[in-house]
Amino acid sequence: MDMRSLLFFLILPILSVHNIYAQEVDSLLVKRLDSVVVSATRLHVLAGKAPLMVYTVDSTDLKEAQPQLGLDYALAEIPGVFAMSSNNYAQDLRISMRGFGARSAFGIRGVKIIVDGIPQSTPDGQAQLDNLDLGVVTGMEVINGPASGMYGNAAGGVINIATEGVLQNTFAEARYLAGSFGLNRFQLKGGIRSEKWSAIVQGSNTRLDGYREHSGMKNTSFNTKIIARPSDNSHLQLIFGYVDSPEAQDPGSLDHNAVSIDRTGARPQNRDYNSGEAVQQAKLGITWQQKLKKDQQLNARLFYQWRDFSNRLPFEAGGIVDLERDFVGGGVNYQLNKSNWKLPYRLKIGIDIEQQLDDRQRYNNLLGIRANRSFDQEESFTNVGLFAIQELEMSARLLLLINTRFDAMELEAKDRYLLDGNDSGSQSYEQFNPGIGLHYNLKKGGNIYANFATSFETPALSELSTNPLGGGFNQSLKPQQAQNLEIGYRKHFSLRWSLKLSSYYIKLQNELLPFELAAFPGRDFYRNAGKSERFGIEANLRWFVFKDFIARFSYTYAQYIYQQYEIDGNNFADNYLPGIPQHQATLSGHYHHSSGFLAMIQLRYIGDIYLNDTNTEQAGDYILGNLRVAYQWKKNKWVLSPFAGLNNFTNTSYNDNLRINAFGGRYFEPAPGLNWYSGVKLRYNIK
């Protein structure tokens, strides 16, 4: 049986359920989809009324019967989003949205990440999720498409994450997970609820040997959150988080021949040079909301993040990187809600101030041992952003949303390694980004919307400092700029069907792209393409088959093409951008019975992916299947929940990560075949 036959065989039982169960779906489920209030737009709006595409993910998809090691499972069901590197913890999860962020060799770039109102993304556009424990996450909102008019630099998309805070009761909880490749994960969580405040504390310890040689990981995290209501008109939130990951090994990428010989093997250089990373990170944040009058509110935030990062790369010259980062910032905004005007109007104006200080040093790597220093540089990125978001209900059917933002950025590099000269320097950017959207409710139900928005993305400090010419910033790199036009349609059909459909066209200048040099295999350098364009179609369908069962389908078509791009006499015009599949689709079924039984099945199709700018190499398409089951027993105040899962039950041979434009054809990081996990959660509700 080939993979497409297997896909049909697995889908058939889901489709046939409709003939077995003729129950009318609970209309409350459908109404709830339109009544969800999303905050990722900064001006809180109903999900069904936003003149842009917003997706929401609840805690069931994020946590229940999940290993809670990454967001990849939940993101797979959102069209336009592509996630990789879920098995290489030295690189963290790589996320791209409509192609933004696809260039990243590690972590997240081009996508704005926010957790509990505090930015996870630094001013230069980088973000890591290695300090986010999904054990405390309750929901996620995703905005597809450029959002610089709301969030400024590197906002090709937005992921807004919320963690537990407002509790139903005081409780204590323990969770244990074991699985393939030496996976062991312990979690402890407790919460206290009183009349005017609540607090939650969570800690976890994770160990993994890894599917491939030299791919183990150790991680310990601690998170706490306190929410208080000093008065009926005020809301205070205090969050603290700490993560210690002393080891995350990097097995490296392989070429075709090495993959065919041994999928589980590490690249010899990565093993010899002990390639990998160690991280310590802490964050502290406070947010305040104060209702001034019935129709006015003041919001403020202040935060500090510290990160100590050490990275061992698979080569000698400058192959060990030590980075200490301080990220501090805050913001204040004022909101006006005039619902009693002839034309209801809402306004939010504010300022965001953020500064990132990176103390970056490089040392020679003598087979895993730190040797002489070869680079010492202090880098800073300061950003001041002024924004205004306005919403006007022009009629009972028509809504207008306008975003405007101005960002002033100052970058500086202080060279402290002067043996090869002083490469200190600075540069500045100023960007104004408008966005406008219209939302219209159709007479026969459903709604349509259209929006136009611009975005920009500066090179990250790590990209600027990876200079082929030596120290200082790579002055040849320019910010990437984009213009986005999008139209969309949303509707519920007969209380059973829910459809979201969008199409977009994006025009880009100076697209940022990675490449490698023969002298530094394994290190990514960056350059600009002249012009490129992106056209895409995204569809999301939900079917309430019967009361306890929901089927979901999402599809993404992405045609991303260079228009002008010439390097060293090679013309790449009309080639596809590497790193993004042209087609991807996800089909899933979610069954949650009132008895406590939960089952989720997910099938993913990923199309062919080009691996280099010349389009001469590509990774083939594949189908991937995942299965999760859980059951919940309740006895008085006790809740016992065993769970289990099968990853890649189709036993597909595929690559979990792809290195774009890698030197020597080392594009591939093989993923595991069929693997499993199981565990149990015990909770005691005190009151």
Q: Domains in the chain, ordered, with CATH? A: 3-263+289-413+436-685 (2.40.170.20)
- Mean pLDDT, residues 183-197 taken together: 93
Tens of pLDDT, residue by residue over 358-382, are 999 999 999 999 999 999 999 999 9
| pLDDT tops 60 at residue 3 | no
> With bands split at pLDDT 50, 70 and 90, how would you rate the model's confidence at 29?
very low
Assess contact for 325 and 311: CB atoms under 8 A. Answer: no
**237 pLDDT above the threshold of 60:** yes
Q: Let me know the angle formed at the C-alpha of 23 by 17 and 26, rounded to the nearest 5 degrees.
A: 115
363: alpha, beta or left? (left if phi > 0; alpha if psi -120 to 50): beta
pLDDT of residue 567: 84
Contacts for 104 with CB less than 8 Å, ≥ 6 apart: 94, 96, 110
> Has residue 18 got a pLDDT over 70?
no
Q: Average pLDDT in the 296-324 region?
A: 94
pLDDT-derived band at 62 (thresholds 50, 70, 90) equals confident
- Coil, strand, or helix at residue 73? helix
Q: In whole angstroms, give the CA distance from residue 78 to residue 49.
A: 19
CA dihedral 81, 86, 90, 95 (to 10 degrees): 0
Mean pLDDT of the region 39-56: 86
Over residues 511-539, the mean pLDDT reads 84
Is residue 640's pLDDT more than 90?
Answer: yes
The yes-or-no verdict on residue 132 having pLDDT over 90 is no
Angle made by CA atoms 635, 638, 640, in degrees to the nearest 5: 90
Beta strands in 39-148 (DSSP E): 45-46, 54-58, 81-84, 94-97, 108-109, 112-115, 118-119, 126-127, 137-144
Q: What is the average pLDDT score of the chain?
A: 89
CA distances from 674 to 211, 223, 627, 652 (A): 11, 32, 11, 8
pLDDT at 535 over 80: yes
Do the beta carbons of residue 329 and residue 353 sit within 8 Å?
Answer: yes
Under 8 Å between Cβ of 683 and 641: yes
Integer Cα distance of 549 and 17 in angstroms: 9
For residue 516, is pLDDT > 80? no
Residue 515 binned pLDDT confidence (cut-offs 50, 70, 90): confident
Distance CA 120, CA 109 (A): 11
Residue 14 pLDDT more than 50?
no
In the chain, what percentage of residues exceed pLDDT 90?
A: 68
Q: Give the residue-averaged pLDDT of 581-605.
A: 95
Greatest mean pLDDT among 28-32, 243-247, 660-664 lies in: 243-247
The yes-or-no verdict on residue 208 having pLDDT over 90 is: yes
> What pLDDT was estimated at residue 333?
96
Task: Tell me which residue has tokens 């209030």.
Answer: 37
Return the half-sphere exposure (C-beta side, CA atoms, 13 A cut-off) of residue 60. 16
| CA atoms of 428 and 153, how far apart (whole Å) | 13
Task: Please answer whether residues 190 and 200 qualify as being in contact, where contact means their C-beta atoms are separated by less than 8 angstroms.
Answer: yes
Left (φ > 0), alpha (ψ -120 to 50) or beta: where does 67 sit? Answer: alpha
Report the relative pairing of strands 112-115 and 157-163 from DSSP bridges.
parallel
Measured CA to CA, the distance from residue 152 to residue 456 in angstroms comes to 8
Per-residue 3-state assignment (H helix, E strand, C coil) for 144-204: ECCCHHHHCCCCCEEEEEEECCCCCCCEEEEEEEEEHHHEEEEEEEEEEECCCEEEEEEEE
Q: Is the pLDDT of residue 431 over 90?
A: yes
In this prediction the pTM is 0.92
Kind plus residue range of the DSSP H or E element containing 306 = strand 296-312
Give residue 70's pLDDT.
87
The pLDDT of residue 568:
80
Q: Which two tokens stand for residue 282?
A: 């802490």
Which pLDDT does position 4 carry in this prediction? 44
**pLDDT in the model for residue 35:** 60
